Amino acid sequence: RVLSLELNKDRDVERIHGSGVNTLDIEPVEGRYMLSGGSDGVIVLYDLENLSRKPSYTCKALCSVGRSHPDVHRFSVETVQWYPHDTGMFTSSSFDKTLKIWDTNTLQPADVFHFEGTVYSHHMSPVATKHCLIAVGTKSPKVQLCDLKSGSCSHILQGHRQEVLAVSWSPRHEYVLATASADNRVKLWDVRRASGCLRTLDQHNEEKSKASSEAGSTAHNGRVNGLCYTNDGLHLLTIGTDDRMRLWNSSTGENTLVNYGKVCNESRKGLKFTVSCGCSPEFAFVPYGSTIAVYTVFTGELITMLRGHYSTVDCCVFQPNFQELYSGSKDCNILAWIPALREPVPDDVSEKSLPQQHLNPAYEDAWSSSDDEG
């Protein structure tokens, strides 16, 4: 299904945003509701389900935090995320230096965290049961951890030298966090450890003493502005402004040296890319100018480029239940990419398969006659 993804003429996403769409998230409980965040501060909540039951339909916006809302973000919303365990709550962070926790039903903020600098990225663990920490990457090199339970932002991870552009919790270990920075580095942390980071990823896989490796290891030869774990948490994909994407073994920190070729990336901020779920092999969907590049994660092959946006694509999100993709762009549109429904045409029609093909109309007749009788 992923190999046949195409822009779907029968599905539209209602156009609400009057400026670029920076971030999308689909809730993991039902896979039905999607959030989007815009560069004008607006947040929209969509229902992806086809309630009309017609083949052509528009995903309707259920509600939005618009420009006139008293608690709307003043500047660009960079990240939106559903609370991983139910749809009653979602989070958003913005260039206005805040992270807001929203009650979905009232569209009122239940809590607001303030930071000294621009917020580029935040993330809640999809698997945590023992903590409620939100990791936040800001203009500061310090990674902030905000506790939803206590409402405090006391915990800080120190080690980066420049702004933190992307953060992602491991989907496998609830205390493990990956952070990507403008200092060319990617760090893995166990947030229970006071001593600092578990490891700094090194693109050259050099064996060094701990002290010197921390100083010299870089993941990219440019700002690292995107992070994405594979769904099993065993590997981590990173993307940098050196036009490279790298795949790392997340337990050893080793660069697997998969070559994806040139992955153009001129984003000045965090880049939101994603991986498929429930597919074998796994695919990465990466915004690439006004297109989305689809790569096989473990071989690095560029499978296809999804074309349809008129301007830079900023984010994409995967819907695992139906293997669908949604993307947001500076052109203000959200596009739905749906597997093409093509009738399978058998190459060589074998004798065995013929009787079954002839049975189908017979079944239809049988059903319709029983309808008449009924």
What average pLDDT does the chain have? 90
Is 80 exceeded by the pLDDT of residue 366?
A: no
Tokens of 126: 């999809």
Summarize pLDDT for 143-165 with one digit per residue, the tens. 999 999 999 987 999 999 999 99
pLDDT digits (tens, 9 = 90+) for 21-69: 999 999 999 999 999 999 999 999 999 998 888 889 999 999 999 999 9
pLDDT of residue 370: 44
Q: How confident is the model at residue 98 (pLDDT cuts 50, 70, 90)?
A: very high
Q: Give φ, ψ of 212 to 5 degrees.
A: -75, -30
C-alpha distances (whole Å) from 133 to each of 155, 316, 333 are 9, 24, 32
Residue 356 pLDDT greater than 90, yes or no: no
List the single range of 146-150, 153-157, 187-191, 238-242 with lowest mean pLDDT: 153-157
Is the full-model pTM beyond 0.85?
Answer: yes
**Per-residue three-class SS string for the chain:** CHHHEEECCCEEECCCCCCCEEEEEECCCCCCEEEEEECCCCEEEEECCCCCCCCCEEEEEEEEECCCCCCCCCCCEEEEEECCCCCCEEEEEECCCEEEEEECCCCEEEEEEECCCCEEEEEECCCCCCCCEEEEEECCCCEEEEECCCCCCCEEECCCCCCEEEEEECCCCCCEEEEEECCCCEEEEECCCCCCCCEECCCCCCCCCHHHHHHHCCCCCCCEEEEEECCCCCEEEEEECCCEEEEEECCCCCECCCCCCCCCCCCCCCCECEECCCCCCCEEEEEECCEEEEEECCCCCEEEEEECCCCCEEEEEEECCCCEEEEEECCCCEEEEEECCCCCCCCCCCCCHHHHHHHHHHHHHHHHHHHHHC
Domains along the sequence of the chain with CATH: 2-207+216-339 (2.130.10.10)
pLDDT tens, residue by residue, 205-224: 987 655 455 567 999 999 99
